[in-house]
Amino acid sequence: MKPDMFYSRGLQLSKIKVFVAAIMAPGFHFDRWFCLFRKSWSDDHTLLISKEKVKPEHLELLVKTEWQLSYVTPLYQFRHTQLKSYSRQLSAFIAAEKQEGLAVEVGGLQNTFKVSFSVLQGLAETSDDPETVLIQVPMFARQEDPPKTVWCGWLSCINGNPEYLQSLPKDFTCLPLFCSKGAEDLSSLVKSWLQRTFDCCFGPLDINQTTLQWLAALWTNCHMETNIQNLKMIWTLPVLPPLQVTYTVDSDDVLDLWRSTRESSAEKSREAEDEVCIDFSEVTRFMQGLMSHFYRHFRVDLSAGELNQVSSALGSAKVNGKIKISSSRYLISIFSLLTECALLKMPI
Amino acid sequence: MATQLNLSDSDSSDLSDQSVFTRRSNRSLRIAEQERRKKEEEDPFVLALKYFSEVEAGTPATGNDELENNLVRVEKVAFSRGLSPEAISVMLDFAMSLRMGSSPCARVLKCLLPASVVPQEAVVRAIVWLTVRKLPISTQVLFMKWVLTVFDMIDAKDKLRAIYGFIFSFVTDENLCPFICHLLYLLTRKENVRVFRVRKLLEQQSKLGRQPYLLYLLSLYKVFCPELVTLSIPSRMKSGFKNHISPWKSALIAVQKRNDMQVASSISLAFAVRDKTASRKRKHAHLDLPSLNPVTIKEPQAAQSSSRKLVPMQQIQSFAQLLQNMHRIELPAQMGSLLGSSLALQYLDCVQDESALLRLNFWLGYTLHEEFLFCSDGGANKNPEEALQFLNRLLSVQHFLQEGFNSSDAFMYKFLNVWDGSLLRPQILGLLSNIPVIPSSQIKTLLFDPLMQLFFTSSLFFKCGLIECLNHMLLKWLTWHSAYALEDDLDISLNSHTSINITLSGFKDSVMELVHFVGRLASVGLQLEDCHSLLLSFILDFYETVCDTFLKFGLPLVVMPPPGVFYPAFFAADPVSVDRLAFIMHRYKVNLTSAKRQEKVTEGFHISRQTFREFNRYQVFLVNCLWNSNMCYPEADVRLSDELLAKSGVPQFSTRFDLIHHPAFVSYALDFHHKCWPGRKDTDLNSIKQSKPWNWYLEYLFTQGFDGLKDFVQNSINQRVMMAGDGCDNVTQSQKLGSAPHIKQPLLS
């Protein structure tokens, strides 16, 4: 007989619980991102090494493509060694879904339609990060040589919170960031297969205001090394009819503004000179500078609106979770940032 | 094989009986059967059967009157009583062996109505006859239809399963294929699913096109071996095989009714393989439970040895099956699907698999977050009906399991910050009350801050609901404690089998925080709502739980209500509240007394002195007001300046809250007065205070159902003093009983 009461399951989720609590603490976000900046900017070695680690054809694939972002809960019983079997399964699954009412033998399509599963090496940054997995789907029911990829997506975890990653039992693989491009129906087929196979869940990952502002600051900072041409921001203002403001700033001017924001704070923390530390307050001040400039000229207060899009020669990011990165140079830092955003969406 | 069956020869018939009835060989039945048979030796029906079993191969059928007569006899019996297993065996054998050609075949098949069961040997033999291939196609189909119709009446299926491969070979026959697929569907076991069979079926599929029967059989194969085959059943395809239309159905039901048999659930075909791919109705269907699908990719090492024995959850159809297979059930691919089936929940209750629960928690947390927090497609506001159903399901699952889920708790902590207090209120409050003990360091930020805001900005009904919910929460915490605390080691972690490793003192802190929090809410709430009696009632419910923490739940903690609750309850105009307050005070007293006794025995057991002091203060106040008619005693908490009281013009203000004048009881006092002195014109309530009427008045009140008051008076008022009052009728009771010593000894020494 069971007493009429509630007790919790025999789970040892204490670590995960800590993480939940941490997410809810307001300072959590920024501390993490600040570390990340420091890592990728001050320590170019890491960056260069990872660039070398990633195969050139993979790099080519990753950049200059607009990715649609999703977050994924940890995958159950995912094995990097089983990719061949996954490839057979997913090929059969897509084939069966494409031709409803026709059963398909798993592994029976080797020659006609083959989804490729591969490890995209070199993106994982720490030993806790599982390797990135790349999925490519060719055109169905058309035999081309070589088969043309019509859909592509990858699951990754770059600089994931080690505390969270270590708290998961070993049956789980945490690849929280899912980027895809290609037809919507294929995306949902692949997602639904992954969901069924690894008991995970997919949710849309939007790039929120804060992240967009970070990206604006990050790209501006890059102008010191690479020409970013312009910093373009698109705002929407809640007026009737809705007003869309496209705000483009010359790269040199915006870098000046960023430097002046940095200088004032750099004085404050002189002792930490050897490390490039960026505080979220600096980003906020930078954005305020941009907004007040706009206000002075047009008498429109952008802070009342929403930042929807940020772009520069290095890439573009939209609030609805679409991101395009044009230079491989800052790939790792941006995807670390997005991994962080995805981890923040984890339900437990 | 067929020649063995000879009805006239009792020995060999016995033999055949044995082979036919291996399963249900019931000796006494058999003997009775034989006796009956002897009696019916001359029965024309028996003779007819004898004819069919003995007739020589090659005997012409056309113009054969003997055949005709015998057939009519069999038909007559078949359609009235049904055929016995032996008769079925004989007739089936006769028909399928084509001893008299194929012409009487269909006619014989049509009258094969079993009275009880069909011997599986007969079916196996008949299937073997099929290979002879001399039967016309229509007869073959008719036979298959017959097998499918009587499938549930076949006495055992083991031999049929043994010739699975043999039956399978018929799928290449275009005409028989639909029926063979159906039969295979009914017979398939996990070990029957093999790559070569899958390939054969797929070959048939490419030959015959998209045939539902192939698809259904393959979908069953997919359930057992998803690593071999995959498919998607179009939504427009109707479920189930369409082979039901058979010439026997109505006749069979009639026979069964006549035989007083329970009508066999004719061809029950649990068709559960259907799975819907991402529902096309909504773009993001978070709230749809995933369907129960087996795991596709098996652990490589496990795949070889153990997975053959595993039973997919989907195959479990009854509780008995669940019990049988408890040790080898394979969890579904998506744990979320367990919430959809009560059988699966039974299983979940026993699973102690951390990964399985974590998977479930990920899914549940994701669903709740997407629907209520991230709201990517409008969320709960857009589909309140679905959200309601989902939460109700979740609640009933939690109720069933008698525990919450980590993920729904984590969700609640976040959701409380954005909740408006009205969206799906009963469900949210229900989930809230299932939250397990929170360490006192976190309880404020996680729970109290958001709830405080909601409480003070919401309606009376929300306030009542929240207090009720917190009462449930407290009850669950206390029950949890009483079930898991180890009595001997008071300060040791409650139990290792729960994840809440909280020390007893930590638990006490949390409970105390919760009780104090509700005390604060209640005090302010009562002020805000003008001491609404509904709210007061919920608050008193809460304190009925609180006052018994020690005796009922074994928690060495007693927390008194704050003055903001005690006084409004005492001054309430309805007698029920005052009565309940008296009951609560009584229980406090009982708890404190026994706690004090415990303190002397157990070392380290300690109840704060402050609690005793508070209790004494309330107790003195109660006795002074209700009993001694002396509200304005020097140490009282509630004090008004004498001038102000004089200004109010209330005569004898100090007696206004005794048992007679208290607004809650004054009507009872009046009623009592009428009953006591029916003749009196002028009402003088003070006359009740004389000792005899006073005792009668108390009796009267107790008969009105004021049990709380009764307990309180009988345990807290010194009876001796009442007796002492007996002799001095002239002196008012209030003077007589005017001071604190008349309370039984104060508890605090």
Q: What is residue B459's predicted lDDT score, i.e. its pLDDT?
A: 92
Amino acid occupying residue B258? R
Q: What is residue B437's predicted lDDT score, i.e. its pLDDT?
A: 87
Shared domain for A194 and A98, answered yes or no, is: yes
From chain B, pick out residues whose CB is under 8 angstroms from the CB of A95.
230
Most confident of B118-132, B235-249, B295-309, B641-655: B118-132
Q: Does A264 touch chain B (CB under 8 A)?
A: no
Cα B451 to Cα B94, B104, B423, B454, B632: the distances in Å are 81, 83, 15, 5, 38
Is residue A251 within 8 A of residue A216, CB to CB? The reply is no
Q: Does B196 touch chain A (CB under 8 A)?
A: no
3-class DSSP state for residue A251? helix
Domain membership flag for residue A237: yes
CB contact under 8 A, A11 and B299: no
Evaluate if residue B250 carries a pLDDT over 80: no
Q: What is residue B6's predicted lDDT score, i.e. its pLDDT?
A: 40
Shared domain for A199 and A82, answered yes or no, is: yes
Q: Does A100 touch chain B (CB under 8 A)?
A: yes
Q: What is residue B632's predicted lDDT score, i.e. its pLDDT?
A: 74
Q: What is residue B215's predicted lDDT score, i.e. its pLDDT?
A: 87
Lowest mean pLDDT among A176-180, B179-183, B281-285, B517-521: B281-285
Give B263's pLDDT tier (boundaries 50, 70, 90): very low
From chain A, pick out residues whose CB is under 8 angstroms from the CB of B497.
10
From chain A, pick out residues whose CB is under 8 angstroms from the CB of B353.
none
For residue A300, give both structure tokens. Answer: 């429109």
Nearest residue of B to residue A98, measured between CA atoms: B232
Backbone angles phi, psi at B81, to 5 degrees: -105, -15
Evaluate if residue B283 carries a pLDDT over 50: no
Give B10's pLDDT tier (boundaries 50, 70, 90): very low
Q: What is residue A143's predicted lDDT score, i.e. its pLDDT?
A: 67
3-class secondary structure for A129-182?
Answer: CCCEEEEEEECCCCCCCCCCEEEEEEEECCCCCHHHHHHCCCCEECCCEEEEEE
Q: What is residue A76's predicted lDDT score, i.e. its pLDDT?
A: 93
From chain B, pick out residues whose CB is under 8 angstroms from the CB of A21.
442
Q: What is residue B244's predicted lDDT score, i.e. its pLDDT?
A: 59
Domains of chain A: total: 2
Beta-carbon contacts of B36 under 8 Å, excluding residues fewer than 6 positions away, are none
Of chain B, the percentage scoring pLDDT greater than 90 comes to: 23
Nearest residue of B to residue A70, measured between CA atoms: B376
User: Which of residues 161 through 180 in chain A touch B, CB cutoff 8 A?
Assistant: 168-169, 171-172
Distance from the A172 Cα atom to the nearest Cα atom in chain B, whole angstroms? 8
d(Cα B562, Cα B542) in Å, to the nearest integer?
13
Q: How many residues does chain B have?
A: 749
Evaluate if residue B738 carries a pLDDT over 60: no
From chain B, pick out residues whose CB is under 8 angstroms from the CB of A84.
none
Q: Does A196 touch chain B (CB under 8 A)?
A: yes
Q: What is residue B379's predicted lDDT score, i.e. its pLDDT?
A: 55
Give the range of the structural domain holding residue A236, as residue numbers without chain letter: 207-266+280-319
Shared domain for A111 and A129, answered yes or no, is: yes
Q: What is residue A36's predicted lDDT score, i.e. its pLDDT?
A: 41
Q: What is residue B323's predicted lDDT score, i.e. its pLDDT?
A: 87
When scoring A72, A109, A201 by the number of chain B Cβ atoms within 10 A, the one with the most, hence best to mutate, is A201
Evaluate if residue B493 carries a pLDDT over 50: no
From chain A, pick out residues whose CB is under 8 angstroms from the CB of B436.
6-8
How many CB atoms neighbour CB B470 within 10 A? 25
d(Cα B456, Cα B256) in Å, to the nearest integer?
69
From chain A, pick out residues whose CB is under 8 angstroms from the CB of B210.
101-102
**What is the distance of C-alpha A125 from the center of its chain?**
14
Domain membership flag for residue A343: no
* A74, A101, A192: residue with CB nearest B233: A101
Shared domain for A95 and A148, answered yes or no, is: yes
Which tops the pLDDT comparison, B23 or B388? B388
Give B577's pLDDT tier (boundaries 50, 70, 90): very high
CB contact under 8 A, A199 and B363: yes
* B230, B359, B365: residue with CB nearest A92: B230
Domain membership flag for residue A47: no
From chain B, pick out residues whose CB is under 8 angstroms from the CB of A10.
352, 354, 497-499
Give B724's pLDDT tier (boundaries 50, 70, 90): very low
Shared domain for A130 and A143, answered yes or no, is: yes
* End position of a domain, from candidates A182, A204, A226: A204
Q: Does A3 touch chain B (CB under 8 A)?
A: yes
Q: What is the pLDDT along chain A (348 residues), one digit of tens a residue?
A: 333 333 333 333 333 333 333 333 333 343 334 444 444 443 443 444 444 577 888 888 888 889 999 999 999 999 999 999 999 889 989 988 888 878 888 877 766 788 999 998 888 888 889 999 999 998 887 666 777 889 999 999 999 999 999 999 988 999 999 999 999 999 999 999 999 899 999 999 999 888 999 889 888 888 888 888 889 999 999 888 888 999 999 989 999 998 888 776 665 555 444 445 677 888 899 999 999 999 999 898 999 999 999 999 989 999 999 999 888 777 888 888 899 999 999 988
When scoring B231, B289, B409 by the number of chain A Cβ atoms within 10 A, the one with the most, hence best to mutate, is B231
When scoring B210, B239, B293, B296 by the number of chain A Cβ atoms within 10 A, the one with the most, hence best to mutate, is B296
Of chain B, the percentage scoring pLDDT greater than 70 comes to: 81
Evaluate if residue B311 carries a pLDDT over 60: yes
Domain membership flag for residue A289: yes
Nearest residue of B to residue A174, measured between CA atoms: B362
Domain membership flag for residue A181: yes
Q: Does B385 touch chain A (CB under 8 A)?
A: no
CB contact under 8 A, A103 and B414: no
Shared domain for A250 and A312, answered yes or no, is: yes
Amino acid occupying residue A85? S
Q: Does A10 touch chain B (CB under 8 A)?
A: yes
* End position of a domain, from candidates A204, A225, A248: A204
Interface A:B, Cβ pairs < 8 A: 198
pLDDT, mean over chain B: 79
Beta-carbon contacts of B532 under 8 Å, excluding residues fewer than 6 positions away, are B460, B526
Q: Over the stretch B338-379, which tens digit does the pLDDT of each residue have?
A: 888 888 888 887 777 788 888 999 999 999 998 888 875 555
Q: Over the stretch B520-543, which tens digit does the pLDDT of each residue have?
A: 999 999 999 999 999 999 999 999
Give B433's pLDDT tier (boundaries 50, 70, 90): very high
Nearest residue of A to residue B412, measured between CA atoms: A347
Evaluate if residue B508 carries a pLDDT over 70: yes
Domain membership flag for residue A52: no
Backbone angles phi, psi at B430, to 5 degrees: -60, -45
Distance from the A117 Cα atom to the nearest Cα atom in chain B, whole angstroms? 15
From chain B, pick out residues whose CB is under 8 angstroms from the CB of A195.
290, 334
Which tops the pLDDT comparison, B356 or B740? B356
Q: Over the stretch B118-133, which tens digit does the pLDDT of each residue have?
A: 898 999 988 888 877 6
Amino acid occupying residue B166? F
Q: What is residue B265's predicted lDDT score, i.e. its pLDDT?
A: 41
Which tops the pLDDT comparison, B293 or A291? A291
Domain membership flag for residue A261: yes
Cα B40 to Cα B8, B385, B428: the distances in Å are 12, 68, 74
Q: Does A195 touch chain B (CB under 8 A)?
A: yes
Which letter, b or e, does each residue of A280-314 get, where b requires 16 or more Cβ atoms within 10 Å of its Cβ? bebbebbbeebbebbeeeeebebeebebbbbbbbb
Q: What is residue B261's predicted lDDT score, i.e. its pLDDT?
A: 57
Domain membership flag for residue A250: yes
For residue B448, give both structure tokens. Answer: 């109290």
Shared domain for A241 and A252, answered yes or no, is: yes
Beta-carbon contacts of B472 under 8 Å, excluding residues fewer than 6 positions away, are B433
Q: Over the stretch A151-170, which tens digit does the pLDDT of each residue have?
A: 999 999 999 999 999 999 98
* End position of a domain, from candidates A183, A204, A225: A204
Shared domain for A90 and A181, answered yes or no, is: yes
Distance from the B557 Cα atom to the nearest Cα atom in chain A, whole angstroms? 20
Q: What is residue B266's predicted lDDT score, i.e. its pLDDT?
A: 39
Q: What is residue B436's predicted lDDT score, i.e. its pLDDT?
A: 87
Q: Check residue B515 and report its DSSP letter.
A: H
CB contact under 8 A, B398 and A102: no
Shared domain for A88 and A168, answered yes or no, is: yes
Shared domain for A218 and A196, answered yes or no, is: no
Shared domain for A262 and A313, answered yes or no, is: yes
Distance from the B535 Cα atom to the nearest Cα atom in chain A, whole angstroms? 26
Q: What is the pTM of this model?
A: 0.78
Distance from the A281 Cα atom to the nearest Cα atom in chain B, whole angstroms? 25
DSSP string covering B590-603: HHHHHHHHHHHHST
For residue B419, give both structure tokens. Answer: 């909740």
Give B737's pLDDT tier (boundaries 50, 70, 90): very low
d(Cα B121, Cα B434) in Å, to the nearest integer?
57
Task: Determine the average pLDDT of the residues in B258-271.
Answer: 48
User: Which of residues 22 through 41 in chain A touch B, CB cutoff 8 A?
Assistant: 24
Q: Does A7 touch chain B (CB under 8 A)?
A: yes
Task: Determine the average pLDDT of the residues in B587-598.
Answer: 90
Shared domain for A312 and A296, answered yes or no, is: yes
